[in-house]
Amino acid sequence: MEKERQLLVVFPHPDDEAFGVSGTIATHINNGTPVTYACLTLGEMGRNMGDPPFCNRETLPLIRKQELQDSANIIGIKDLRMLGYRDKTIEFEDEEKLINHMGSLIDELNPSLIISFYPGYAVHPDHDATGRAVVKAVERLPKEKRPKLHLVAFSNNCIDELGEPDIRHDVSAVMDTKIAAIKAHRSQTQLMATEMEEKLKVNDPDMIAWLQNERFWTYSIKN
């Protein structure tokens, strides 16, 4: 994996960083790349409250904030930005305001690489709105100042319409870190973590492949 000048990761929810990209982030950190993670919301509208429940609608934002901090510490992220947007409302934010906010982060950090969601192929409206704002902010930069965009897609039609991902990272060396980051989001992942551990005990090949491999699409800006 190439050493970057600065990596900026932009996702809308706590735990978005853990599932599909924590191995990649941890590897960049191990390579000496500075990483900033900008998380737009605290996931306060999440449906899960633990199993058995250990939080409620009022306490969930505080729980998820702590889980996000714990996950970032596990991965090694030192610069965690919580941007203060409300969960499940990103698609309704003033788009110009959101683009400008993303642009201000890019201007401040001057990243050589940004990781976010691929707009239209990331299932959740918050995911798509976040990715779209990131892409549009990069589009407004002069060509010579544009960072690379490595975007995450997982909709059912993503490979049919985008083709195979052009970037695949083997993160087996940091798989334990990835598992710990997923488990840090306990309110959301308890049941999944139990199932994951059971499958790992029997060396389930699909689970191992999912944990060890992370995929991205390079977004090409035409103009």
Domain locations in the chain as residue ranges: 7-218
Does residue 46 carry a pLDDT above 90?
Answer: no
pLDDT at 110: 98
Does residue 222 carry a pLDDT above 90?
Answer: no
Task: Please check whether residue 86 is in contact with residue 43, taking contact to mean a CB–CB distance below 8 angstroms.
Answer: no
What's the angle, vertex CA 121, arms to CA 120 and CA 127, rounded to 5? 75
Q: What is the pLDDT confidence band of residue 47, given thresholds at 50, 70 and 90? A: confident
Whole-number Å distance between alpha carbons of 94 and 76: 32
Does residue 48 carry a pLDDT above 90?
Answer: no
Task: Please check whether residue 50 is in contact with residue 190, taking contact to mean a CB–CB distance below 8 angstroms.
Answer: yes
Strand partners, 11: 39
pLDDT at 49: 86
Question: Domain 7-218: what homologous superfamily?
Answer: LmbE-like (3.40.50.10320)
The number of beta carbons lying within 10 Å of the beta carbon of residue 148 is 18
Radius of gyration of the chain (CA): 17
pLDDT at 207: 97
Q: What is the pLDDT confidence band of residue 50, given thresholds at 50, 70 and 90? A: confident
Task: Please check whether residue 21 is in contact with residue 7, taking contact to mean a CB–CB distance below 8 angstroms.
Answer: no
Whole-number Å distance between alpha carbons of 119 and 22: 20
Q: What is the pTM of this model?
A: 0.96
Whole-number Å distance between alpha carbons of 7 and 33: 7
Q: What is the pLDDT confidence band of residue 223, given thresholds at 50, 70 and 90? A: confident
Does residue 101 carry a pLDDT above 90?
Answer: yes
Whole-number Å distance between alpha carbons of 220 and 158: 16
Does residue 153 carry a pLDDT above 90?
Answer: yes
Token readout for 58 is: 């009022």
How do residues 165-185 score in pLDDT, each as one tens digit? 999 999 999 999 999 999 999
Token readout for 84 is: 């203060």
Does residue 89 carry a pLDDT above 90?
Answer: yes
Does residue 100 carry a pLDDT above 90?
Answer: yes
